[in-house]
Amino acid sequence: MKSDGIHTTTKKELVARIADQTGQTKVVVKEVLQAFLDEIVVELAQGNRLEFREFGVFEVKERKARRAQNPRTLEKVEVPAKRVVKFKVGREMKAKVCDEPPPARRAVPTPKPARSEPAPAPRQASRPASNSPF
């Protein structure tokens, strides 16, 4: 468990819970769960949309090629087009997860996305430089 109170649930833990709830063996539950996940991947790889009512929708979107800039070197780089998986939350999940206030936790800074436009020019000093150490 992480120090910020967020727990990562593994497939092994889900298998154990489902096996307890259904009375099935862990081996059977693991095979069914893995087959389910494999089928999701196959469908998405074929470009299909998966809709699970009240849970959400998985779909593949095409991202266009674009020009970006390396923030450290300011070098322009070409980012090729690619396919990405998007997930839209369903009503039931939104009601149970998103509409309830999240548990209090410390803020984690999020990285800034790469800009597609050039970085602004550096700002000029607002007062003349002096030789004073203060």
Coil, helix or strand at residue 77: strand
Residue 79 is inside which H or E element, if any?
strand 76-79
**Confidence band, pLDDT 50/70/90 cuts, at residue 22:** very high
pTM: 0.62
Write down the pLDDT at residue 105: 61
pLDDT on residue 134: 43
- Every domain of the chain and the residues it spans: 1-46, 60-101
Helix (H, G, I), strand (E, B) or coil at 61: strand
Name the residue among 63, 58, 49, 60 with its Cα closest to residue 89. Answer: 58
